[in-house]
Structure 1
Amino acid sequence: MSTHLTNRRRARSVSASRAADALPARGRSLSSTLAGWLFLLPGLAFYLVFVFWPIIQTAWYSFYDWNGIDASTWVGVKNFVKVFTDPVLLGSIGHSFYLVIFFSLIPIVLGMIIASLIRDIRAKAVSTFAQVCLFLPRVIPGAAAAVAWTWMLAQDGIVNQMLSAMGLGEHATSWLGNQHTALTSVGVIGFWLQLGFCIVLLSAGIGGIDKSLYEAASIDGAGWWSQLWHITLPGLRGQIAVCLTMTVVAALASFDVVFMATQGGPGYSTMVPGVMVYRLAFTQNRVGLASALALVLMVLVLLVVGPLQRLVQGKEEA
């Protein structure tokens, strides 16, 4: 009987000591959680005030006909109907998707090939110098790059001078002033700006791929293109996902390059949603319609980038 009581007392003392040990642990966990929220609070407040709240206001304005000064009038979804039925507004969205080819697809494909070529350079100094030179366009602001390219693509610019020097003067034109070539010319500027970023990011990813894979592939007789397709491409899925996200957003939300190069002209041949929102809100005083177009653009960016991220990350996990 005494042995049974002793065991029960020991069990109680053990459980009491465990409860006593659990209290400080819970206190430490609570204090660390509170400290985490305190560190997060300034950034969260900044996000709510300067990002989330303007989005809510934009969504609210999109249901009104408002010139930004006088009283507004409720119009429901008429602004959204206007976005999807007006040829100019709908065409601006189509132009932004066309720019994805130059801002995103071509830079990523060409950037991966150039990054693979840089990997094959034996001299590290030469490799580093090449990456720095190719990354320089990314450092230049888009507005400044657009101004410089406007001079080069002018009727008497260096591009047409080079064509004339090569005996191709009949192909010379005002590249940004011709409705048939203006949008592609803007895309070339975007390609020039995005290529360096893709090369540097993909070069960093290639540096993390095990070199023994390339050595084994070479021993098995795999050529350069085969190694690029079967080793480099699968090893760069994470970096490609980042490149896709950054460049697609740059294409769909482009403003500075288009505004400084053409302002959406000639006519509306290079009009994109970013420039159209600016023109509607600040030159035509149609804040409600501008808000609706901005909201549609935001949703389109999310609808495009989200599936791309899932596609690339899903393949990476598989």
Structure 2
Amino acid sequence: MRAYAARYRRRAPGEPRAIGMLYVLPALVLYTLFLLIPLGQTVWLSFLDWDGLTVATWAGLDNYRELFTDPALRAPFVHALVLLLFYAALPVAIGLLLAAALSRFRVRGMTFFRTVLFLPQVLAMVVVGVAWRSILAPDGLLNDVLHAVGAGGLARSWLGDYTWALPAVGIVGTWVETGLCLVLFLAGAQRIPRELYEAARMDGAGAVREFFTVTLPGLRGEVAVALTLTIVAGLRNFDLIYITTSGGPGNATSVPAFEVYRRAFEVNEVGAAAAMGVGLTVMIFVLTVVVARLVEGRKS
């Protein structure tokens, strides 16, 4: 009895490890069924030459080799990196500037202001795509406004122009993601001690110096979260492209997620689609890890 009591005292407080694993088990089962197993099947399909109907044949690394040699398969990844400027860099920059201004000055109706900017996050992306397709149409609201202000020479078919289609879709992404970044940064700015701002002002710091010495360091964690969320949103973008341009004109706005759908269900190249899906997964993982490492490195 004494030995059992001593052994019990040495045990870590709380439930036994086996009981703790039982709490995790349901989530782990769902995670395995709906993520790990499909991911493994996708990796397996990426080594096959299969049209989805007939018997598949072994292709080895041919599908991955085409990702680097076929311009039609490389272009969607290039477009995705360009869209990251609109989905991640611009929303974070705009959100930081707005958060810095709103934390420095009192603004009436702050709750309404935040709600309006966050509204795109709660709208279905299909609704966003339909609305902006109408705005950017040749006879849409944007061209009507340009004609009304005497800048009709700038009007064009924004989503049908080879040069402007991708930036036009990117601007929609900026509009969607800016509200998320602003809400994150405003919540983080409330945790920054006001004494730091007062000390900076006593040292003669202006608005710019105050931003770089107080606001930006205090929001480092929120910036990492915002970058991670917006990068993932930009790289897995499918529904907005499908609704607004369907990858066109030509393949000027094709992105990996849309190309996976097109290759698998329209062209019947399931192996190539799976390889592109694996490549997209690796790309998302690498970029999010880089963001996390950069933030941790600066913290240390």
CA displacement at 1:177 relative to structure 2: 0.7
Whether the 8 Å contact between 1:121 and 1:127 is mirrored in structure 2 is no
- The percent of aligned pairs where both chains have the same amino acid is 41
Asked whether 1:33 is paired with 2:10, we answer no
Q: Distance in 1 between matches of 2:133 and 2:76?
A: 21
CA displacement at 1:21 relative to structure 2: 2.2
Q: Distance in 2 between matches of 1:176 and 1:122?
A: 39
Q: Write the letter of the residue equivalent to 2:212.
A: W
Q: Write the letter of the residue equivalent to 2:249.
A: P
Residue deviations 1:98-123 (CA, integer Å, cap 9, x gap): 00000000100110111122223435
Q: Decide whether aligned partners of structure 1 residues 162 and 241 sit closer, same or farther in structure 2, where only a CA change above 3 A counts.
A: same
**Could you say what secondary structure the match of 1:293 adopts?**
helix
CA displacement at 1:71 relative to structure 2: 0.8
**Could you say what secondary structure the match of 2:90 adopts?**
helix
Return the match for 1:246 from 214, 221, 229.
229
Q: Distance in 2 between matches of 1:314 and 1:83?
A: 32
Q: Decide whether aligned partners of structure 1 residues 25 and 135 sit closer, same or farther in structure 2, where only a CA change above 3 A counts.
A: same
**Structure 2: stretches of 5+ with no match in the other structure:** none
The structure that has the greater radius of gyration is 1
Asked whether 1:140 is paired with 2:123, we answer yes
Q: Distance in 2 between matches of 1:40 and 1:25?
A: 26
Whether the 8 Å contact between 1:241 and 1:313 is mirrored in structure 2 is no
Q: Distance in 2 between matches of 1:218 and 1:121?
A: 14
Equivalence for 1:9: none
CA displacement at 1:159 relative to structure 2: 0.5
Q: Distance in 2 between matches of 1:32 and 1:174?
A: 65
Q: Write the letter of the residue equivalent to 1:92.
A: P
Q: Distance in 2 between matches of 1:162 and 1:176?
A: 17
Matches within 5 A, 1:184-263: 184-263=167-246
Residue deviations 1:196-228 (CA, integer Å, cap 9, x gap): 000000111111101100011111111111111
Asked whether 1:108 is paired with 2:56, we answer no
**Structure 1: stretches of 5+ with no match in the other structure:** 1-15
Asked whether 1:160 is paired with 2:151, we answer no
Q: Distance in 1 between matches of 2:137 and 2:14?
A: 65
Equivalence for 2:166: 183
Return the match for 2:65 from 81, 85, 92.
81
* TM-score, L = length of structure 1: 0.91
Q: Distance in 2 between matches of 1:202 and 1:180?
A: 33
* TM-score, L = length of structure 2: 0.96
Superposed CA RMSD in Å reads 1.5
Whether the 8 Å contact between 1:134 and 1:195 is mirrored in structure 2 is yes
Farther-moved stretch of structure 1 (84-93 vs 21-30): 21-30
